[in-house]
Amino acid sequence: MEDEVDRLVKGWRKALPELDVSPLEVLSRVSRLARHLDRQRNIVFARHDLEIWSFDVLSALRRASAPSHLSPGQLLAQTLVTSGTMTNRLDNLEARGLVRRRPDPSDARSVRVQITPSGRRRVDSALGDLVERENSIIGTLDDSERAVLSTLLRRVIAPFE
């Protein structure tokens, strides 16, 4: 079964036979998969009136251990955005009633962000739909193949993390 990456690699090997383009065989597929996943996630999240970024923030808060709140700095570390971007995101989510900011009881200069019951219901429902959709995407792989792929991707991603 030939795919678009096979065709582009074949073209590069013909155009530049002296260049080892073998990394494209893996990473071009990862890149193409990422674009397909983004499209699918946008579709799933739109059904829940969410965006990828809002799901990321809400899911970080949802996974937080009791008392289920995080500082903006902790959210920055988990979502890899700037503080200005996080402020805008929190403003948006707070205006939508999905999070609330409260003063930090241990430091009056700081705030804690907490997911609201509405935010919790929204992210839980979106996650259920997301898992169902992504399970269908990798449905051609059995459990052992999924485990191998997960392990290999973890090794590739680890240096960036």
Closest CA to 70 of 7, 131, 119: 119
If DSSP codes are grouped into helix, strand and coil, which group holds residue 126?
A: helix
- What is the band of 80 on the pLDDT scale with cuts at 50, 70, 90? confident
pLDDT given at position 110: 86
Structure tokens of 119? 């935010």
How many angstroms separate the CA atoms of 37 and 43, rounded?
A: 10
- What is the band of 161 on the pLDDT scale with cuts at 50, 70, 90? confident
Among 11-20, 77-86, 91-100, where is mean pLDDT lowest? 77-86
Mean pLDDT of the chain: 94
How many angstroms separate the CA atoms of 33 and 3, rounded?
A: 12
Per-residue buried b or exposed e for 118-153, using 16+ beta carbons within 10 Å of the residue's own CB: ebbebbeebbeebeeeeeeeeeeeeeeeeeeeeeee
Phi, psi of 2 (to 5 degrees): -95, 140
- What is the band of 59 on the pLDDT scale with cuts at 50, 70, 90? very high
Average pLDDT over residues 127-153: 96
How many angstroms separate the CA atoms of 93 and 7, rounded?
A: 44
Average pLDDT over residues 108-131: 94
How many angstroms separate the CA atoms of 17 and 20, rounded?
A: 8
pLDDT given at position 99: 96
pLDDT given at position 105: 81
> What's the angle, vertex CA 48, arms to CA 42 and CA 51, rounded to 5?
40
68 pLDDT exceeds 80? no
pLDDT digit string (tens) for 4-50? Answer: 999 999 999 999 999 999 999 999 999 999 999 999 999 999 999 99
% of the chain surpassing 90 pLDDT: 82
